[in-house]
A = this chain, B = another copy of it.
Amino acid sequence: MNHTASSAELHSSPSDALAPTPAFSPLYQQIKGLILQGLQSGEWKPGEVIPSEIELAARFRVSQGTVRKAIDELAGDHLLVRRQGKGTFVATHAEHHVQYRFLKLQPDNGDLNSEGPAQREIIDCKRLRATAEVARALALRAGDAVLQVRRVLSFSGIPTILEDLWLPGSPFKGLTADLLADYHGPMYALFETDFGVRMVRADEKIRAVLPDETQCRLLQVTSGTPLMSVERVAFTYNDTPMELRRGLYRTDTHHYRNKLS
């Protein structure tokens, strides 16, 4: 194919000469954007196969190598998963292997499987109006409808994590305490299947804090027990914030693990 011609189609119009950058972007970046569109639009849903590299190359009128590089980057971002001989799949939080990808707390004896799955208890799930703080985190306006969920996770019967979640009201219309309680599996998997919201990345701010009275009761600790406060904002495609989560972690039997590189 003629590369120059095709990239002219894909490039932003050269007429906006006012742009500070010439806005050149390589073909594979543009292909990446097109595949991303397919993911956002729901053309390919979590867990499904996307078309083969050859098909995509034909559709976008580029070489297979260019599609390959685009998919490589998307796989690197954990948006796609490649499986040799089978195809390329849309990543999902519902797989047993990568379950709890965003939960970094683990038992002190590195044995992740020994303690089994967490026991979950939904304390509360109510509809309310966003405070200024919640609105800012979720890119809403103060007063917009939000859902608040409070739950406790226990390991081996010991309450270990107390979480408060805030979710934007409209995408999560229909979410109830019962729905959460009945679902077995990661909450982010439920969000995918029932609300079409896939969490792609997250930002955490961590501090050491002391619990208030309510928190003491729910986590069964005394008021002087130091806890980790983990404030997380999770994003879908397009860097849209879709969840604010405040976690309180007991770190007497568990620790937060971070790999730096």
Q: Chain A: residues with CB nearer than 8 A to chain B?
A: 77-78, 101-102, 104, 200-210, 224, 226-228, 232, 249, 251, 255-261
Contacts and interface: CB of A to CB of B under 8 A. Distances in A.
19 contacts: A77-B261, A201-B259, A201-B260, A202-B259, A203-B257, A205-B255, A205-B256, A206-B251, A206-B255, A206-B257, A207-B255, A208-B208, A208-B209, A208-B228, A208-B251, A209-B226, A209-B251, A226-B227, A232-B260
A-side binding surface: helix, strand, loop or mixed?
Answer: strand
B228 A259 contact: no
A206 B256 contact: yes
A211 to B, nearest CB: 10
Which of A201, A224, A251, A261 is the most central at the interface, judged by chain B CB atoms within 10 Å of its CB? A261
A228 B207 contact: yes
B206 A258 contact: yes
Contacts of A207: 228, 251, 255-256
